[in-house]
Amino acid sequence: MNTPAGRVRTAVLISGRGSNMAALIEAARAPGYPAEIALVLSNRADAAGLARAAEAGIPTATVESRSFKGDREGFERAMQAEIIRHDIALVALAGFLRVLTPWFVRQWEGRMLNIHPALLPAFPGLDTHARALAAGVRLHGCTVHLVSAGVDEGPILAQAAVPVLAGDTEAALAARVLEQEHRLFPAALAWLAAGRVRLEGDVARIAVPDASGALANPLPG
């Protein structure tokens, strides 16, 4: 596939269905989008997202984490070799279910994004929607952040909030959050690729206008 010169070559790392990956691929098709999805890399050969990426004409690769039992860095060095072979400048973690070592994180410092299905720093880790329901929060959502060594930690680029509705189930809430993930991740990747993200210590500043106003849920009568 022909891609315009100057777009930032980006690898998307997945472990499963790849709906965020698909949203990134779709967004990157738009004229003027500053990143190109140049590789989809999975740690599982059976990840459904791999077939989706191949259908979209994106180069794919698999580095089976299972074959590196107990040798996390060996697994990551194999991934890194694959990523470098594809001349990648940015990495987007899109449902990549492996905790990364400080070594790998260092290789991609300031150049690796993750999407997390909660409003960090609330609910890092797994089962975020069930935990949000159990905690009774009124707003839940998703976060795109730069990856640092801690799990689901690192400078936050963008967040989207959704209301938790009366009678919500985990699946209903997850679906509402996922819809926002698919909007937020392509936007954040574009900012990073276009050089609009600047770090001040642990805080990311983004050269785009802030939203103003406030959200409240339930609505005060």
Interface residues toward ligand GRF, by CB under 6 A = 14, 16-21, 49, 94-95, 115-117, 142, 178, 181
Question: Phi/psi of residue 201, each to 5°?
Answer: 65, -125
Strand order in the sheet with 90-93: 60-62, 35-42, 8-14, 90-93, 112-116, 139-146, 156-163
For the bound state, the minimum distance from the C-beta of residue 200 to ligand GRF, rounded and expressed in Å, comes to 26
Are 199 and 157 contacting, i.e. CB atoms less than 8 angstroms apart?
Answer: no
DSSP 47-67: -HHHHHHHHTT--EEE--GGG
For the bound state, the minimum distance from the C-beta of residue 213 to ligand GRF, rounded and expressed in Å, comes to 25
> Degrees (nearest 5) of the Cα angle 115, 151, 25?
20
19 is in an annotated binding site: yes
Please say which residue, 78 or 92, places its beta carbon nearer to ligand GRF. Answer: 92
For the bound state, the minimum distance from the C-beta of residue 94 to ligand GRF, rounded and expressed in Å, comes to 5
- Alpha helix locations (H) across the chain? 19-28, 48-55, 72-85, 102-107, 128-135, 170-193
Please say which residue, 20 or 65, places its beta carbon nearer to ligand GRF. Answer: 20
Q: Which residue is nearest to ligand GRF (CB)?
A: 95
72 is in an annotated binding site: yes
| Selection from 138, 187, 134 nearest residue 159 by Cα | 187
For the bound state, the minimum distance from the C-beta of residue 20 to ligand GRF, rounded and expressed in Å, comes to 3
Please say which residue, 33 or 123, places its beta carbon nearer to ligand GRF. Answer: 123
Please say which residue, 77 or 105, places its beta carbon nearer to ligand GRF. Answer: 105
| Selection from 90, 84, 168, 177 nearest residue 128 by Cα | 177
Give the catalytic positions in this structure: 116
Residues annotated in a binding site for (6R)-10-formyltetrahydrofolate:
72, 114
Residues annotated in a binding site:
18-20, 72, 114
